[in-house]
């Protein structure tokens, strides 16, 4: 009897050891393929340097759709197709100008219109400036800001180790500042750029007027961090100084665009869908190489790796290049709408939208059972310096996605330099390191592989 029990234990131990060895070996092959035989860096080179910025509704966004579709078609996938989606079309217009008018002295400062902003008059806007550090402080001033330009100057917090926490701690002033200032009669708003360092690059980004009447829309722009420091200093010396800015942006009618989709059909459970993706659109100031060209080509590289290795997934793996994450999120919403219409069953979704820097881990939206399951693979990732597995936001494009059982994950690269480039003129191809980009793709492919092999825990609903 004891011999039988020992034999069973040894047999089961051998199975576990074999499984671990198989997974370890597969991860080695995945990383080797990405570091020696990947296409993601050359794909990004083309997206950035041949196509350039890809703001939703633009001609370059359409070029990016056609280019990535054509590249996916070269990989021998089971299906590549476009998914129609109506997206906003906002045009920046002429380059913005601004200066601080301190008595008779005019000091030029770098600004850029925030996405979705209205224009100033053709002659620009000049008014006294009220500096605030929060929307709460704005509300406390009330009608004292009437007829003035509100200057939101709350910096990202340097003491935050995770840079995205610093970003989320102050981005409300960019997104909702103009709407809130308009309620008290402000003529316009200027917002300190979402940037941890001091430089001369203004950072654009989405803003919303919410449900206020269009007649109350006021122009809003971001000022560089150096410009914000200077303006704040000048206001302290002369509270009556004036600020001038001019912008000619315009919101057009929505236009037709597309999500780009490619898939490998599952060999055992084709009805179960695993998504890996990033957003194809970018802001218009630069190439959008980190945000989110990197996530796009990394997602494409995941299926390229599997094809190179001859890996046949159990579940259907679908790469989705979402359109319009930056100024509307229409691509992610449309994808979910059609997934519901087609009664598709998604079990896993992975997004890369935090830059092409060295991967550090994953942010997970899951129940405890699936979180602990993924945490159990930590030893497999350790040789590749992947160590951070935390619960948190997975991604904006996969945010709307729902299914009866669904685990969501976001790739977590090192975040320290991300906001040096985020939504700014310097988010260009030269800012992306080839090896870091490839390591991110391999890390994504590794998690997709492990989920595909072992499935997800189905003890309760996860959304």
Tokens of 428: 């260009």
Residue 290, exposed/middle/buried by CB under 10 A (0-12, 13-18, 19+)? buried
Cα–Cα dist 188/149, whole Å: 5
pLDDT at residue number 461: 46
Pick the closest to residue 363 from 331, 339, 396 (CA basis): 396
Helices (H), 342-454: 368-375, 378-381, 418-421, 434-454
Q: What is the spatial distance between Cα 424 and Cα 403, in angstroms, rounded to a whole number?
A: 36
Contacts of 203 (CB under 8 A, 6+ apart): 112, 193, 194, 195, 222, 224, 419, 422, 423, 424
Distance CA 414, CA 436 (A): 10
The tens digit of pLDDT for each residue in 429-450 reads 999 999 999 999 999 999 999 9
CA distances, 400 to each of 128, 191, 204, 403 (Å): 42, 29, 24, 10
Determine the Cα–Cα distance for residues 201 and 187; give it in Å rounded to an integer.
24
Query: pLDDT at position 458, please?
Result: 85
pLDDT at position 3 is 52
Phi (first) and psi of residue 198, to 5 degrees: -95, 120
Comparing CA positions, the residue from 190, 184, 187 lying closest to residue 141 is 184
Answer whether 248's CB lies under 8 Å from 94's CB: yes
Cα–Cα distance between 246 and 125 in angstroms, integer? 6
Q: How many residues does the chain have?
A: 463
Q: What pLDDT is recorded for position 4?
A: 53
Residues of the chain with pLDDT under 70: 1-20, 459-463
* Tokens linked to 132: 């605030």
Q: Catalytic one among 96, 263, 325, 365? A: 325
Can 229 be counted among the known catalytic residues? Answer: no
How big is the CA angle at 198 (ends 234 and 326), to the nearest 5 degrees?
A: 110
| pLDDT score of 20 | 60
5 exposure class (CB count in 10 Å sphere: 0-12, 13-18, 19+): exposed
pLDDT tens digits, one per residue of 396-423: 999 999 998 999 999 999 999 999 999 9
Terminal Cα distance for the chain, rounded: 47
């Amino acid at each position: 009897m004891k011999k039988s029990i020992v034999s069973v234990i040894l047999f089961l131990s051998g199975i576990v050891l074999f499984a671990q060895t198989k997974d370890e070996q597969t991860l080695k092959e995945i990383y080797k393929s990405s570091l020696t035989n990947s296409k993601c860096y050359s794909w990004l080179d083309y997206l950035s340097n041949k196509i350039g910025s890809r703001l939703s509704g633009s001609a370059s966004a359409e070029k990016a759709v056609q280019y990535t579709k054509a590249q996916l078609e070269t990989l021998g996938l089971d299906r590549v197709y476009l998914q129609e989606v109506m997206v906003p079309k906002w045009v920046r217009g002429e380059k913005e100008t601004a200066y601080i008018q301190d008595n008779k002295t005019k000091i030029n400062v770098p600004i850029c219109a925030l996405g979705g902003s209205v224009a100033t008059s053709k002659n620009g806007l000049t008014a006294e400036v009220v500096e605030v550090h929060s929307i709460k402080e704005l509300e406390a001033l009330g009608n004292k800001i009437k007829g003035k330009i509100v200057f939101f100057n709350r910096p990202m917090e340097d003491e935050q180790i995770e840079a995205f926490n610093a970003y989320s701690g102050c981005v409300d002033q960019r997104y909702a500042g103009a709407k809130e200032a308009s309620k008290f009669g402000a003529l316009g708003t200027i917002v300190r750029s979402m940037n941890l360092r001091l430089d001369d690059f203004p950072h654009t980004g989405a803003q919303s007027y919410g449900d206020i009447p269009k007649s109350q829309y006021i122009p809003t722009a971001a000022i560089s961090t150096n410009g914000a420091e200077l303006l704040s200093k000048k206001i302290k010396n002369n509270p009556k100084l004036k600020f001038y800015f001019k912008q000619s942006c315009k919101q057009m009618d929505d236009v037709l665009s597309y999500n780009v989709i490619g898939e490998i059909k599952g060999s055992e459970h084709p009805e179960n869908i695993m998504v890996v993706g990033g957003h194809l659109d970018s802001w218009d100031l630069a190439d959008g190489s980190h945000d989110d060209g990197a996530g796009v080509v990394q997602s494409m590289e995941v299926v390229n790796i599997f094809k190179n290795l001859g890996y046949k997934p159990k579940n259907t793996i679908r790469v989705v290049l979402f359109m319009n994450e930056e100024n509307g999120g229409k691509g992610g919403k449309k994808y979910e709408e059609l997934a519901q219409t087609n009664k598709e069953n998604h079990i896993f979704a992975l997004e890369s939208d935090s830059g092409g820097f060295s991967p550090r881990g994953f942010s997970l939206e899951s129940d405890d059972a699936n979180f602990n399951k993924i945490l159990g693979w930590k030893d497999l990732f350790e040789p590749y310096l992947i160590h951070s597995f935390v619960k948190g936001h997975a991604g904006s494009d996969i945010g709307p996605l729902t299914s009866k059982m669904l685990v969501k994950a976001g790739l977590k690269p090192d975040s320290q330099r991300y906001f040096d480039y985020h939504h700014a003129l310097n988010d260009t191809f030269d800012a992306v390191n080839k090896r870091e980009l490839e390591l991110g793709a391999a890390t994504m492919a590794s998690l997709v592989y492990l989920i595909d092999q072992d499935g997800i825990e189905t003890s309760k609903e996860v959304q």
